[in-house]
């Protein structure tokens, strides 16, 4: 009788122990996924900022080019005018040309370009963090699924109605898209 009670008590304790291990593993999977989710949100937030910064850099570049072309046009029209008008127009063209050359030489120093570089760095860092979060999540999934497959915890898992977790991986189509070189077409860029 005592042996039967000890066997039943041991079985109950084993069930509780295995149930707790499964619950811990399941929570680790959920926690790992939330880490991925946070990094994906960060990436989603960075992308519009990067696009806006690039637009700002292009707009700034276009302003420099537009100012140069406008000054050139004014200087061309002023050629038939009096000398003062020509000098004023040529002075404007020289200033626009100087601004253009300064822009060309100092491109890395332009704040919007720096913003683009900073946002690109942050995006790259976020991609690294997504990869790290994905590895952690997949390791937690592997541990959890191993517990669900191993005897005797698989019996407890079935009794609790637990299902295998799916690893975070790319589909074949996504994998091809990641490996493909995207074409980026910016206004004013050469093909």
Percentage helix, strand, coil, to 5, in the chain? Answer: 85, 0, 15
Answer for the pair 35, 137: CB distance below 8 angstroms, yes or no.
yes
pLDDT, residue 107, reads 55
Write out the H or E segment, with its range, that includes residue 23. helix 2-78
Blockwise average pLDDT, block size 10, the chain, 191 residues: 93 92 92 80 70 62 68 70 60 65 55 65 81 89 93 90 82 52 49 48
Angle of the 111-149 helix axis to the 2-78 helix axis, nearest 10: 160
| d(C-alpha 188, C-alpha 57), whole Å | 12
CA 157 to chain centre: 36
For the chain, domains (ranges, CATH) are: 2-167 (1.10.287)
pLDDT, residue 131, reads 84
CA 118 to chain centre: 13
| d(C-alpha 48, C-alpha 60), whole Å | 18
pLDDT, residue 182, reads 47
Q: What are the tens digits of pLDDT across the range 28-68?
A: 998 988 887 777 677 667 766 766 765 566 565 567 667 76
| d(C-alpha 51, C-alpha 69), whole Å | 26
pLDDT, residue 90, reads 58
Count helices and strands in the chain by DSSP H and E runs? 5, 0
pLDDT, residue 173, reads 47
């Amino acid at each position: 009788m005592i042996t039967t009670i000890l066997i039943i008590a041991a079985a109950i304790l084993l069930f509780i122990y295995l149930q707790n291990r499964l619950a811990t593993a399941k929570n680790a999977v959920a926690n790992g996924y939330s880490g991925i989710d946070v990094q994906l949100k960060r990436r989603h937030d960075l992308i519009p900022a990067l696009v806006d910064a690039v637009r700002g850099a292009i707009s700034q570049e276009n302003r420099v080019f537009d100012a140069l072309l406008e000054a050139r046009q004014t200087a061309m029209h002023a050629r038939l005018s009096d000398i003062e008008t020509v000098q004023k127009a040529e002075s404007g063209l020289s200033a626009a040309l100087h601004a253009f050359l300064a822009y060309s030489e100092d491109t890395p120093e332009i704040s919007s370009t720096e913003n683009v570089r900073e946002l690109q760095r942050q995006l790259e860092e976020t991609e690294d963090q997504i990869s790290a979060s994905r590895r952690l999540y997949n390791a937690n999934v592997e541990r959890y699924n191993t517990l669900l497959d191993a005897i005797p915890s698989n019996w407890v898992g079935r009794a609790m109605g637990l299902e295998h977790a799916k690893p975070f991986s790319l589909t074949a189509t996504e994998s091809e898209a990641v490996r493909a070189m995207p074409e980026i077409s910016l206004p004013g860029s050469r093909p």
